[in-house]
């Protein structure tokens, strides 16, 4: 019973956060307060809805979670954004290349995105 109560409180909190974000966008004329467009290489903060996997559980208890991440904007288009948390160069000369770790997020799942710094 405590798990259900906790999940309901989390859902209410997420709904309130989304409402506050929408109100702030409307008060800013529907745009982010940072009016410069984002570009590759910018450090960005993203709050987004993430999928949740469940197994052998009551399906009605599970909804997407709100998560936050920070990284360098690597790519964006109308469908998704890609951010990178870390990069390193492979030292092997014949296959020397940059390796990255990051996350691709669908735009429809993004609650908030803003430049950091």
Range of the domain at 49: 34-115
Residue 5 within a domain: no
User: For residue 20, what are the CA distances in angstroms to 25, 30, 76, 94, 111?
Assistant: 9, 13, 25, 52, 11
Specify if 15 maps to a domain: no
The arithmetic mean of pLDDT across residues 70-80, rounded, is 94
The domain tally of the chain equals: 1
User: 12-25 pLDDT, tens per residue?
Assistant: 565 555 545 544 54
H-helix or E-strand containing 84? strand 80-89
Q: Is residue 103 part of a domain?
A: yes
> Looking at per-residue confidence, does 107 or 27 come out higher?
107
Domain annotation covers residue 25 = no
Instruction: Reply yes or no on whether the pLDDT at 54 is more than 60.
Output: yes
User: Would you state the structure tokens that stand for residue 12, as one six-digit string?
Assistant: 């209410």
Does 98 fall in a domain? yes
pLDDT mean across residues, the chain = 80
pTM of the model: 0.65
């Amino acid at each position: 019973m405590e798990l259900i109560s906790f999940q309901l409180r989390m859902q209410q909190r997420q709904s309130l956060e989304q409402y506050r974000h929408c109100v702030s966008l409307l008060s800013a004329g529907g745009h982010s307060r940072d009016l410069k467009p984002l570009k590759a290489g910018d450090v960005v903060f993203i709050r987004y809805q993430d999928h949740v996997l469940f197994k052998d559980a009551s399906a009605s208890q599970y909804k997407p979670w709100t998560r936050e991440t920070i990284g360098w904007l690597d790519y964006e288009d109308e469908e998704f954004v890609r951010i990178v948390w870390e990069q390193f160069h492979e030292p092997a000369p014949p296959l020397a290349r940059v390796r990255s770790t990051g996350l691709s997020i669908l735009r429809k799942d993004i609650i908030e995105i803003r430049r950091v710094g």
